[in-house]
Amino acid sequence: MNQRIKGIAAAAAGLLGILAVSAYPAAASASGGSLVVYSAGPGGLANQLVQAFEQRTGIQVQLFQSTTGKVLGRLQAEKSNPHADVVMLADWSAGDALQQEGMLQPFHPTNGQRTIWKGPDGMYYAYSASALGITYNTKLVKNPPQTWLAALNPQWDNKIVMPDPAQSGSAVDFVGGYLQTQVLGMNYFKDLGENGTVVQGANADALNQVLTGAKDMVLAGVDYMAYADIAKGEPLGIVYPKEGTVVNPRPTMILKSAHNLANARLFEDFVLSDAGQAIVAKNYLLPGAKGYPANPARAALSSINTWNVNWVDLAKHKTSYIESIDSALQ
């Protein structure tokens, strides 16, 4: 099965790469100027979007690339002297938090009506999304758990790692989504702690432990990382548990303090265009625009049982979720 996935992934990446290049001319409507973009992963996607936008417009982009937590920390540190124009995060609830702080301004992208996920009043839109699952090392695991509950089986004691919600926006969203929708609530995470589950690092750090064989599986791992590594020949598989999971829209937004507003709007138009969405799909994330297909090497949105998460409520309780998980699993 993994060999088939690898073959499909390689072919799909080649096809989507051709589409991404051919979907727009090499130097269209050059307007010049500059733009500052802060982006929370994946680094390859952010770089490709920026490079394609620069090629298309002639606008020079200064990119700061890090985790959601570090991007948000930088925004707070720069509040008195803001630098960023556009912010792209890996955590939908963080978009609501920035809106509540009054840091955003509305915008209306050309393809805004095609977007699948939208924030209130045009404050932010999802340019992509990831789904959370159980990512496992196929050399170590032959029968992976098919449910979140099955991860509590004693055979997985001391063999599971979970990204730290304090460092990973998607991990805190998983905690919030689970607590909102599943009857076990916090007892589930307490049981994980008793079974020796380790909470450590951001998504890439957690996945690296599975790649090296230090752990058998990542609980609540972001799926696009698994698909990208499978395409490279790594021994990974991914399961979307039957109880459902979080599909995390990844918001893009323009700060109220943006110095380069016109260029920021052009960038948002590009990211949500067919050309931008082709780059998203090439990187194994779910596209944020209706009518644009996901990479055929990954699960489509329609095939994933998705929890109905109250993102506003999740944003309000994020700090308490992080503290509760730290207490339950550390």
pLDDT at position 212 is 97
Render each residue's pLDDT in the chain as its tens digit; 330 residues: 433 333 434 334 443 443 333 333 333 344 568 999 999 978 799 999 999 999 999 999 999 999 888 999 999 999 999 999 999 998 898 899 999 999 999 999 998 999 999 999 999 999 999 999 999 999 999 999 999 999 999 999 999 999 999 888 889 999 999 999 999 999 999 999 999 999 999 899 999 999 999 999 999 999 999 999 999 999 999 999 999 999 999 999 999 999 999 999 999 999 999 999 999 999 999 999 998 999 999 999 999 999 999 998 998 888 898 888 888 876
The strand pairing partners of 114, in sequence order, are: none
Q: Delineate the domains of the chain, giving CATH numbers in brackets.
A: 14-129+248-298 (3.40.190.10), 130-246+304-329 (3.40.190.10)
- The sign one gets for the Cα dihedral 277, 101, 123, 96 is positive
Q: The dihedral of CA 90, 91, 94, 96: what is its sign?
A: positive
